[in-house]
Amino acid sequence: MLTVVNEDGTTPSGSSLLDGIVREGARRMLTAALEAEVNAYVAELADERDGRGHSLVVGNNDYHQPRQVATGAGVVEVKAPRVNDKRVDKATSERKRFSSAILLPWCRKSPKISEVLPPLLYLHSLSSGDFVPALEQFPGSSAGLSAATVTRLTTQRQADHAAFMDRDLTEVDYGYMWADGIHLNVRLEEAKTCVLVLIGVRPDGSNELVALKDGYLESGESWADLLRDCARRGMRAPVFAVGDGALGLWKALAEVFPETSEQRCWVHKTANVLDAMPKSAQPGAKKAIPDICNAEAAITTFAQLYGAKFPKVVKKITDDQDQLLAFCDFPAEHWIHLRTTNPIESTFSTVRLRTKVTRGAGSRTAALAMLFKLVESAQQRWRAVNAPHLGALVRAGARFERGRLVERPEAIAA
């Protein structure tokens, strides 16, 4: 029986018939869209006529030279239609030109390709020797994505991260901020280097990446250096900061932004408490600890239950009682966001999956640039905090007690 494909779905030439169909469909759709765009442009300017009554803008059934464009469906060949536009710009005395919003001049790849390519190459360690196999796995073919192009994209990513870390922060304001040091399997300068991350909440309730920088472990000086840099660029002290029990962070925060309230992460605290207990006692303690989040009296109950046998464990909670319950002085609708550093942990859980496949990213700058782009991409999916309208009240210094707004503090009422 005569067939057009092999058993594995490839054509006699070795290419995939399915991929070929997808690319041909994409080519036809792109061609139709470009022609529709030109027709709409010509129709919109149909009333533009010269002194003899002739149309100044017409389609002439001609096309530009064909070019290959890398898209998510692969590399397709495109012929953009021409437009004969005889209008003259009065300001410059030059002929006006039609410019497609779909296919920009000299465009050789869709913007999405530039976003997807760096993570793909990161999985190949950003080594020039790995460019070819990486590009072979990219949809379609590697046409238009040469090693020089990849190098240029990588350099651009590093420049983007450098610009991000040097941007002006005087126009932004954060009510809440999460801070954490993330240890990843990437090549930085030293084995004990980690990535220091700050995520802030704007007054409108939206979350955004504030800073991402490498530091030695989670030392106080590393955190202080990062916070001082943010202050130098104009950032105001956040009202409330959430972090784990790393002393370096809180020492640095007290030095740079002493007015910021401190909140210990309950996830980290729970893990530390359970690690200090025998496995036989962990199930009961694990059930008792969440109750503390909702009632201060639960700390007393926890101390009564475990204080006699595990005094050092109970001390881990009682010593940090004020910092563990600091979230109670903010809107109850926000409590679920303020008890943990989950916004950072959840984001980097997916980043870790990508970094486990390689021992390094080529260099410190390449590693940080790639992490920055991965987090920047994830940021598009971050949701705002609950009751975002309360964010402006928090930033303005409104007072809350047990999660409820105090509209007329006693000092003012008197």
Which residues have a Cβ under 8 Å from the Cβ of 295 and sit 6 or more positions away? none
Q: How far apart are CA 286 and CA 290, in angstroms?
A: 7
Give backbone dihedrals phi and psi of 60, rounded to 5 degrees, phi first. Answer: -115, 20
- Please say whether the beta carbons of 272 and 282 come within 8 A: no
Of 8-12, 33-37, 125-129, 149-153, which has the strongest mean pLDDT?
33-37
For residues 207 and 231, what is the distance between their CA atoms, to the nearest angstrom?
A: 19
User: Which residues have a Cβ under 8 Å from the Cβ of 267 and sit 6 or more positions away?
Assistant: 340, 341, 342, 345
Picking from 216, 240, 166, the residue whose alpha carbon sits closest to that of residue 391 is: 240
Distance CA 122, CA 141 (A): 19
More reliable by pLDDT, 121 or 335: 335
Per-residue confidence at 259, pLDDT binned at 50, 70, 90? very high
What is the C-alpha to C-alpha distance for residues 20 and 45, in angstroms, rounded to an integer? 38
- With tokens 């029990």, the residue in question is 245
> Is 70 in contact with 109 (CB distance < 8 Å)?
yes
Residue-wise pLDDT tens digits, 288-304: 777 766 656 677 788 88
Indicate the SS3 state at residue 369: helix
Distance CA 395, CA 393 (A): 5
Average pLDDT estimate for 78-104: 83
When pLDDT is averaged across residues 106-132 and rounded to a whole number, the result is 53
Is the pTM for the entire model greater than 0.85?
no
Is the pLDDT confidence value at 229 over 90?
yes
pLDDT at 15 over 70: no
The partner residues of 181 in beta bridges, in order of sequence, read 196
**Model pLDDT for residues 314-347, shown as the tens digit of each residue:** 888 888 888 888 998 999 999 999 988 888 888 8
- Between the alpha carbon of residue 253 and those of residues 47, 221, 247, 268, the distances in Å are 65, 11, 10, 19
